[in-house]
A = this chain, B = another copy of it.
Amino acid sequence: MSPTPLDAPGHGGRAQIVGLGLIGSSVALALHKAGWHVSGLDVDEARMARALELGVVDHLGSDPVASIVFVATPVAAIASVAMELLESRSGDPELVVTDVGGVKGQVVASIADPRFVGGHPMAGSEQEGPDGADPDLFVGATWVLTPTDVMSPAAFQRVRSVVASFGADVVELAPARHDALVAIVSHLPHLTAANLMSLASDASEEHSVLLRLAAGGFRDMTRIAAGDPVIWPDIFRDNASAVIEALDDLRGRLDEARRMLVEQDRGALVALLEHARVARRNLPPRMPRPESVVECRVPVPDRPGVLAEVTTLLGEIGANIRDLEIAHSAEGERGVLVLTIDAEAVDAARAALVEHGYRPAISRLE
């Protein structure tokens, strides 16, 4: 490819994106929206051309004076790309480099430059590449940054302010802690879902009727196993030790659950189920706003239009739905809409729902 000419920067900032997948392209658009001049690079020339065509980037190629670089390559390539960039501008204090990889410990440890700040936006979609890019992908999303002793505080503050300008909710975690926590809430659940789905699938070869018995709960539990597995082998390689630790914790708990079943320890079983129930009900909504949101559970029949009716009803009275889940209760053709809405809209929402024959159960999220 031949580089396109550099346009004049917007607010004076110049940024570089390496890797124009969904996240890299969305970062490019978010930067562009904030007035940055954005240059983009990718190993795939067709993808680069598409990014330029869609206006995802202003320029193709390297920008030698970019003040911030987002490395959005697959995890395996991050360290070498970042090191090469940092070395090529050795000693340049105007440069900060950050990344968007899902595992942080190894990458951060291998880049011992004060101008590097590890990051992980907890956002995504099923779309891919520049075509799926969205400048608002990170609005309200948690974006983890992983400060270290090596890192310059000034570099950290610069990355933090740029990321916060995308509307992200920035959470600062040490790299190892990030990896331990995502092992628990993301990597282990993914591995478990894959194994549950495989188990049922293997059993269904002998019992073809099995999957006709798979109702809402099973579907919910295995849904993430349907995702494209391409990013997972790298994650399981780079975060193996944390995933193994979380897996061993789960294995120990399943051993204990087995003991409860064998010994018919009803008390322990009830305590386990009750503990989990309370914890799940207290799980914060994805955009936690204590005291300002309420949870509204609306049992609904499975008929065409019911979802549209409930959501439109709430839209008409101006209640913003911050989160929505469909709980396939127990089994079968019925469900409960679990809506997280603004507390200020609660009275109007309740009235509107009751008027239309629904029986909402509303509780404040503490």
Binding site for B on A (CB under 8 A): 121-127, 132, 134, 136-142, 144, 169, 171, 173, 177, 180-182, 184-186, 188-201, 203, 207, 209-229, 232-233, 236-237, 240, 243-244, 246-251, 253-255, 257-258, 260-262, 264, 266, 269-270, 272-277, 279-281, 283-284, 286-288, 297, 299, 301-302, 304-305, 307-308, 311-312, 315, 320-321, 324-327, 329-336, 359
- Do residues A286 and B333 form an inter-chain contact, with CB atoms below 8 A? yes
List, sorted by A's number, 15 A–B pairs whose CB atoms are closer than 8 Å. A125-B299, A137-B332, A137-B333, A138-B332, A142-B212, A181-B209, A181-B213, A186-B213, A193-B221, A195-B254, A198-B276, A201-B279, A225-B276, A251-B258, A304-B315
- Do residues B226 and A280 form an inter-chain contact, with CB atoms below 8 A? yes
Residues of B within 8 A of A222 (CB): 189, 276, 280, 283
Residues of B within 8 A of A203 (CB): 181, 184, 249
Q: How far is the CA of A279 from the CA of B136 in the complex (A)?
A: 33
Knowing that A140-B333, A247-B261 touch, tell me 6 more A-B residue pairs with CB under 8 angstroms. Answer: A127-B359, A185-B214, A194-B272, A198-B276, A254-B254, A307-B307
Q: A189-B221, A194-B272 are in contact. Are A240 and B212 (CB under 8 A)?
A: no
Residues of B within 8 A of A336 (CB): 125-126
Residues of B within 8 A of A288 (CB): 212
- Do residues B283 and A211 form an inter-chain contact, with CB atoms below 8 A? yes
Q: How far is the CA of A196 from the CA of B359 in the complex (A)?
A: 31
Q: How far is the CA of A329 from the CA of B22 in the complex (A)?
A: 12
Q: A220-B223, A332-B122 are in contact. Are A198 and B261 (CB under 8 A)?
A: no
**Most B-side CB within 10 Å, residue of A181, A223, A236, A258:** A223
Q: How far is the CA of A277 from the CA of B327 in the complex (A)?
A: 22
State how many angstroms separate the Cβ of A286 from the closest Cβ of chain B: 6
- Do residues B173 and A209 form an inter-chain contact, with CB atoms below 8 A? yes
State how many angstroms separate the Cβ of A300 from the closest Cβ of chain B: 9
**Most B-side CB within 10 Å, residue of A262, A266, A307:** A307
Q: How far is the CA of A254 from the CA of B137 in the complex (A)?
A: 34
Q: A233-B269, A324-B307 are in contact. Are A255 and B251 (CB under 8 A)?
A: yes
Q: Which residue of B lies closest to A243 (CB)?
A: B261
Q: Which residue of B lies closest to A224 (CB)?
A: B217
Q: How far is the CA of A203 from the CA of B325 in the complex (A)?
A: 24
State how many angstroms separate the Cβ of A351 from the closest Cβ of chain B: 18
Q: A122-B213, A224-B220, A229-B277 are in contact. Are A137 and B199 (CB under 8 A)?
A: no
Q: How far is the CA of A274 from the CA of B180 in the complex (A)?
A: 25
Could you say which of B190, B249, B335 contacts A199, with CB atoms under 8 Å apart?
B249
Q: How far is the CA of A281 from the CA of B223 in the complex (A)?
A: 9
Q: How far is the CA of A270 from the CA of B203 in the complex (A)?
A: 20
Q: Which residue of B lies closest to A142 (CB)?
A: B212
Residues of B within 8 A of A123 (CB): 330-334
Q: Which residue of B lies closest to A246 (CB)?
A: B199
Q: Which residue of B lies closest to A143 (CB)?
A: B332
